[in-house]
């Protein structure tokens, strides 16, 4: 048994350093193809309203950032839907309309010099105030992803990656059709592409992340998706990927400076570990924005990743990586099972 594990371990290291399509990536490609076929006839339609929508469960609510995530169904349809409602920040351009006769004030409190009102716009002031994201049809994984749950910190050694994480990932069918839609220009989002380097090896597409309402620069959130397929995550990165990583860093900084007038020292470029989608991508956010997942338990600065690999080419095949896993994540259950831990 030990010999078997060791052999598998060596293969695991070799496949990552070679960066050639080994058995693993062939298997992943098969799964990706399967996802593609499955999802092609399940493309969600553009909704005009929530007519007939029934809320079945509140998955998460946060009064601080004024968001609520819901699970529900549309009448007469059995498909699941996940809806994310988030109040957006005030656009500076709308302030003059907001502080005008177009908003009537209903007093809620009056005491000395202090007063509180309900501000009621008399008409549409040009900003909806509610960012509405719909995932439809949603899978069980989506419902889990957006459900409020406890998390656990896991220290994943390189052996754990080979023996627990990688086999688990290979069993899953991850839906990354949205990534291919962008890379192959099949999604409407193509119009929003900020920049593209079409090179097959080191190229990438930079576009607004689904999390950004594209209204304010202070919460700028872009995502750079590499063209190269088969790089699942940070764990796969080695010295052969340095040109790709440097290219993403340099061009993203340049393009954001030119397009949004945001200097490179105001930008945070990072990768998630573990990511939700196992096709290499880099998060690009404004440094002032406290983006979800930008903390130490999940984010790895791209500049640090580059330097670590420069110092040690197989750094990410050797380093123990601490990551946060959610209670309902099957990977956490697998770690607990292997480590003989009970919840």
Active site residues: 281
Q: How far apart are the first and last CA of the chain?
A: 27
Where does this chain touch ligand M7G (CB under 6 A) — which range of 11-19, 163-171, 204-212, 299-307?
Answer: 204-212
Q: Count interface residues toward ligand M7G (CB under 6 A).
A: 15
Cβ closer to ligand M7G: 91 or 208?
Answer: 208
Peptide bond into 274 cis (omega under 30): yes
Strand partners, 116: 109
Give the ranges where 186-327 is alpha helix by DSSP (H).
242-260, 302-311, 315-318
Which phi and psi (to 5°) does residue 220 adopt?
-50, 130
The reply, when asked if residue 178 is annotated as ligand binding, is yes
The reply, when asked if residue 188 is annotated as ligand binding, is yes
Cβ closer to ligand M7G: 65 or 123?
Answer: 65
Tokens representing 278? 């196992």
Name which of residues 266 to 305 contact ligand M7G (CB under 6 A): 272, 275-277, 281, 283, 293
Binding-site member from 210, 295, 327, 337 for ligand M7G (CB under 6 A): 210
**Spatial contact of 12 and 161, defined as CB atoms under 8 Å apart:** yes
Cβ closer to ligand M7G: 92 or 210?
Answer: 210
Where does this chain touch ligand M7G (CB under 6 A) — which range of 7-15, 60-68, 98-106, 202-210?
Answer: 202-210
What is the dihedral sign for C-alpha 49, 51, 56, 62?
positive
Sheet holding 299-301, edge to edge: 195-197, 204-208, 221-226, 281-286, 267-272, 299-301
Where does this chain touch ligand M7G (CB under 6 A) — which range of 88-96, 201-209, 254-262, 314-322?
Answer: 201-209
Cβ closer to ligand M7G: 89 or 208?
Answer: 208
Q: Which residue has the tokens 């990438």?
A: 204
Binding of ligand M7G at residue 211 (CB under 6 A)?
yes
Render the burial of 255-284: b for 16+ CB within 10 Å, e for the rest. bbeeeeebeeebbbbbbbbbbebbbbbbbb
* Shortest Å distance, C-beta 291 to ligand M7G: 8
The reply, when asked if residue 212 is annotated as ligand binding, is no
Give the CA diameter of the chain: 79
* Shortest Å distance, C-beta 212 to ligand M7G: 8
Binding-site member from 22, 189, 213, 314 for ligand M7G (CB under 6 A): 189
Cβ closer to ligand M7G: 35 or 209?
Answer: 209
* Shortest Å distance, C-beta 209 to ligand M7G: 5
* Shortest Å distance, C-beta 298 to ligand M7G: 8
Binding of ligand M7G at residue 120 (CB under 6 A)?
no
CA distances from 71 to 18, 53, 57, 74, 135 (A): 43, 10, 5, 11, 10
The reply, when asked if residue 274 is annotated as ligand binding, is yes
* Shortest Å distance, C-beta 231 to ligand M7G: 13
Binding of ligand M7G at residue 172 (CB under 6 A)?
no
Render the burial of 12-37: b for 16+ CB within 10 Å, e for the rest. bbebbeebeeeebbeebeebbeebee
Strand partners, 284: 222, 269
Binding-site member from 81, 223, 267, 305 for ligand M7G (CB under 6 A): 223
Annotated binding site for substrate: 178, 188, 209, 211, 272-283
Residues of this chain that bind ligand M7G (CB under 6 A):
178, 189, 207-211, 223, 272, 275-277, 281, 283, 293
């Amino acid at each position: 048994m030990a010999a078997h594990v060791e052999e598998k371990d060596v293969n695991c290291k070799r496949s990552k350093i070679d960066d050639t399509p080994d058995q693993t990536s062939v298997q992943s490609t098969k799964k990706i193809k399967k996802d593609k076929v499955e999802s092609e006839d399940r493309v969600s339609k553009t909704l005009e309203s929530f007519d007939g929508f029934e809320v079945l469960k509140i998955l998460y609510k946060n009064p601080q950032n004024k968001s609520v995530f819901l699970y529900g169904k549309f009448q007469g349809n059995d498909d699941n839907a996940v809806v994310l409602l988030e109040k957006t920040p005030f656009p500076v351009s709308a302030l003059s309309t907001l502080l005008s006769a177009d908003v009537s004030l209903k007093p809620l409190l009056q005491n000395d010099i202090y007063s509180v009102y309900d501000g009621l716009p008399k008409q549409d002031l040009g900003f909806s105030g509610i960012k509405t994201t719909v995932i439809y049809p949603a899978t069980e994984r989506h419902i889990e992803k957006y459900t409020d749950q406890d998390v656990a910190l896991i220290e994943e050694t390189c052996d754990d990656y080979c023996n627990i994480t990688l086999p688990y990932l290979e069993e899953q069918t991850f839906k990354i059709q949205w990534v291919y839609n962008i890379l192959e220009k099949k999604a409407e989002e193509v119009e929003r592409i900020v920049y593209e380097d079409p090179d097959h090896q080191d190229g990438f597409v930079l576009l607004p992340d689904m999390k950004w309402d594209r209204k304010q620069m202070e919460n700028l959130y872009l995502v750079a998706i590499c063209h190269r397929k088969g790089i699942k995550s940070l764990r796969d990165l080695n010295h052969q990927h340095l040109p790709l990583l440097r290219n993403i860093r340099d061009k993203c900084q340049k393009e954001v400076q030119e397009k949004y007038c945001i200097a490179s020292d105001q930008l945070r470029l990072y990768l998630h570990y573990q990511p939700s989608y196992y096709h290499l991508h880099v998060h690009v956010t404004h440094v002032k924005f406290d983006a979800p997942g930008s903390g130490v338990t999940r984010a790895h600065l791209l500049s640090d990743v580059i330097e670590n690999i420069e110092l040690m080419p197989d750094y990410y095949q050797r380093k123990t990586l601490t990551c946060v896993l959610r209670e309902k994540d099957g990977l956490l259950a697998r770690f607990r099972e292997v480590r003989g831990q009970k919840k």
